[in-house]
Amino acid sequence: MGRLDGTVAVVSGAARGQGRADAVALAREGASIVAFDIAAPLRSPLHPPATPADLEETARLVEAQHARCLTEVLDARDLAGLHALADRVHAEFGRVDTVVVNHGIWTVAEHSWTLSENDWQETVDVVLTGAWKVTRAFVPKIIDGGQGGSVILISSTMGEKAHPSSIAYTASKHGTLGLTRVLAWELGEHSVRVNAIMPGATGTPLATEGESIERSSKWHPRFYATDRNLLPVDWIPPESIARSVVFLASEDARHITGAVLPVDAGWSAF
Ligand SMILES: NC(=O)c1ccc[n+]([C@@H]2O[C@H](COP(=O)([O-])OP(=O)(O)OC[C@H]3O[C@@H](n4cnc5c(N)ncnc54)[C@H](O)[C@@H]3O)[C@@H](O)[C@H]2O)c1
């Protein structure tokens, strides 16, 4: 018996990294998975893009857990496409129980005033507006199901703390906590719980590839001098974030809503 048997979970940005780990962990607990990802390059991030082959690998790993997996190449900025996917999920699976708003990009510039307008706009569009659009499309399906559900938004330690070099990302991840709190307020009466996770430095291409960290630490050595995990770990594995996603999706968290959970090895504790 899995903790999520018979449920349906949607994961954005599921081609790799945390989204893939979330999809596999949710499937292991019995959920059917809807995994979507842009799986294409964006203009601004330094880290390399995910690919359609990455998304297919996620599907293979989910199916290895004996779970159904519907995949789609889809941009979280495309509200019409999200509505079409939500309708397709409803037609094929008959319900939506869990939505993990996980997709994201990270952009850096030495200073807030040297970031290009394009980089600002793309980051806010993907990270903040895209998060709202995913909830805009899928929350009505959870409400219509009448059985409650769980929405989990992936913010960041940058959702509560300043990170020099990352103005657009930091502002968008702060905004993600705003989305979480308003949605938790509005959805409580429908027994839909809404919570956020703030991952710390997690070992995925967003952080480990493309030199964003190298550049930021060169630009802002004073910040990085105090950037310390309390636990003796450099990188949190994506599977560790996924454990918290499963917890928040499950009945174990049935009385938790509007919460913000750091999974950051203690990074934000001081
Ligand atoms: N890695 C870290 O250190 C870290 C720390 C804190 C928060 N986060 C957040 O965790 C989440 C997952 O990131 P990750 O670490 O797994 O990085 P990742 O780059 O491995 O995965 C992000 C995925 O999101 C997808 N994506 C990007 N833009 C999209 C769009 N417009 N529509 C659909 N999919 C899109 C990418 O293609 C990619 O597959 C993100 O929200 C990120 O901001 C990451």
d(CA 43, CA 267): 30
Asked if pLDDT for residue 37 goes beyond 80, the answer is: yes
User: What does the pLDDT average to over 202-226?
Assistant: 93
Q: Band of the pLDDT at 157, cuts 50, 70, 90? A: very high
d(CA 63, CA 96): 19
Pairing label, strands 149-154, 192-199 = parallel
Asked if pLDDT for residue 227 goes beyond 80, the answer is: no
pLDDT tens figures, 130-154: 999 999 999 999 999 999 999 999 9
d(CA 91, CA 93): 6
User: What does the pLDDT average to over 44-73?
Assistant: 97
More confident residue, 223 or 115: 115
> Residue 226 has what pLDDT?
78
> Residue 55 has what pLDDT?
98
Asked if pLDDT for residue 78 goes beyond 90, the answer is: yes
Name the amino acid, one letter, at 169. Y
Percent of the chain clearing pLDDT 90 (strictly above): 97
Tell which one of 152, 180, 202 to mutate to probe ligand 1, the residue whose CB is within 8 A of the most ligand atoms: 202
The residue from 36, 93, 169, 247 that is catalytic is 169
Nearest CA to ligand 1 atom 27: 104
Span from the CA of 206 to the centroid of ligand 1 (angstroms):
6
Query: What phi, psi does 258 have (nearest 5°)?
Result: 75, 15
Q: Band of the pLDDT at 86, cuts 50, 70, 90? A: very high
Pocket of ligand 1 (CB under 6 A): 12-13, 15-19, 37-39, 47, 49-50, 75-77, 102-105, 126, 130, 154, 156, 199, 201-202, 204-207, 238
> Residue 240 has what pLDDT?
98
- Give which of 129, 124, 71 is closest to 101, Cα–Cα: 129
Nearest CA to ligand 1 atom 25: 13
Residue 73 belongs to what H/E stretch? Answer: strand 69-73
Asked if pLDDT for residue 219 goes beyond 80, the answer is: yes
d(CA 85, CA 169): 27
Q: Which residue has the tokens 């939506």?
A: 96
Percent of the chain clearing pLDDT 70 (strictly above): 100
Q: Is 169 a catalytic residue?
A: yes
Span from the CA of 146 to the centroid of ligand 1 (angstroms):
30
> Residue 270 has what pLDDT?
77
Span from the CA of 126 to the centroid of ligand 1 (angstroms):
10
Q: Band of the pLDDT at 225, cuts 50, 70, 90? A: confident
User: What does the pLDDT average to over 182-187?
Assistant: 98
Secondary structure tally for the chain: helices H, strands E: 10, 7
User: What does the pLDDT average to over 193-220?
Assistant: 96
Q: What is the mean pLDDT of the chain?
A: 97
Asked if pLDDT for residue 228 goes beyond 90, the answer is: no
Q: Band of the pLDDT at 254, cuts 50, 70, 90? A: very high
Q: Band of the pLDDT at 216, cuts 50, 70, 90? A: very high
